[in-house]
């Protein structure tokens, strides 16, 4: 019998890696872990559709079940597109994209890297000016190669975010230490001044 980590990897390999969260989890890997642990059903992935459910059922020895309509429906592959005239460069969509498929800078127009976009739609609700829409993708299908590339970009992005958080925490800790040392030096200086003042009063 496969170990839990092996089983999670096998399940994750079947999932489309769109990282759309329509399954109710924060990405394909968390959903794979939930399936392996028996905490989630195999029919919660709209991008994977019935094909994906059949593969999961075969892997896990379970009965096929129709896609849960509460999670969405299987739709043709679409990608995000930015209306350049409306974009205000707020960067919220960049923060929301799970695979770094959006490029741009603060107060500058953003654009979608079509080859990277997974069609997750996570950028749409965060846009304050509704300048993002979904358009038909030039890809005929979302392939295994697309999924593998998206998984890699998702992992790289998460590692970068983790490093950035660690660096912010390091800088905060260093700032706090400097502040504490400064307060300590101030306290010592005040104590020395009080002691000097007492000696001066005793000598009078």
Residue range 170-196, pLDDT digits in tens: 888 887 777 777 777 777 778 777 777
With a pLDDT cut of 70, the percent of the chain lying above it is 97
> To the nearest whole number, what is the mean pLDDT of the chain?
92
Which carries the bigger pLDDT value, residue 109 or residue 1?
109
Q: Taking phi first (over 0 means left), then psi (-120 to 50 degrees means alpha), and beta for anything else, what does residue 102 get? A: beta
- What residues are paired with 34 via a beta bridge? none
DSSP letter at 125 equals: T
Nearest to 40 by CA among 56, 51, 18: 56
**Which DSSP string corresponds to 6-51?**
HHHHHHHHHS------TTSSSSHHHHHHHHHTTSS-S---TTTHHH
Residue spans per domain, the chain? 4-71, 76-142
The confidence score (pLDDT) of residue 40 equals 97
Place of tokens 């960067």: 91
The confidence score (pLDDT) of residue 160 equals 94
Say whether pLDDT at 1 is over 70.
no
Nearest to 49 by CA among 23, 30, 25: 23
- What residues are paired with 80 via a beta bridge? 134
Helix ranges (H only) for 110-143 are: none
The band of 52, judged by pLDDT with boundaries at 50, 70 and 90, is very high
Residue range 149-168, pLDDT digits in tens: 999 999 999 999 999 888 88
Indicate the pTM of the whole model.
0.81
The confidence score (pLDDT) of residue 202 equals 63
CA distances from residue 158 to 43, 113, 152, 155, 180 in whole angstroms, order as listed: 26, 18, 10, 5, 33
The confidence score (pLDDT) of residue 179 equals 74
The confidence score (pLDDT) of residue 200 equals 66
What's the fold here for domain 4-71?
3-methyladenine DNA Glycosylase II; Chain A, domain 3 (1.10.15)
Residue 62 contacts residue 56 (beta carbons within 8 Å): yes
What's the fold here for domain 76-142?
Alpha-Beta Plaits (3.30.70)
């Amino acid at each position: 019998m496969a170990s839990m980590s092996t089983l999670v990897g096998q399940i994750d390999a079947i999932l489309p890696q769109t990282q759309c969260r329509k399954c109710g989890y924060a990405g394909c890997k968390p959903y794979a872990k939930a399936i392996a642990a028996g905490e989630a059903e195999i029919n919660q992935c709209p991008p994977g559709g019935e094909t994906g459910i059949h593969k999961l059922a075969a892997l896990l020895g379970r009965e096929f079940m129709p896609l849960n309509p509460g999670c969405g429906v299987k739709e043709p592959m679409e990608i995000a597109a930015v209306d350049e005239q409306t974009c205000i460069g707020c960067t919220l969509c960049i923060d929301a994209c799970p695979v770094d498929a959006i490029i741009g800078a603060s107060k500058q127009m953003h654009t979608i890297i079509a080859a990277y976009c997974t069609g997750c739609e996570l950028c749409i609700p965060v846009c304050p000016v509704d300048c993002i829409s979904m358009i038909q993708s030039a890809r005929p299908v979302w392939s295994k190669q697309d999924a593998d590339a998206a998984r890699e970009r998702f992992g790289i992005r998460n590692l970068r975010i983790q490093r950035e958080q660690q660096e912010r925490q390091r800088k905060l800790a260093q700032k706090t230490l400097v502040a504490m040392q400064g307060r300590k030096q101030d306290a010592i200086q005040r104590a020395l001044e009080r002691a000097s003042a007492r000696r001066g009063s005793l000598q009078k």
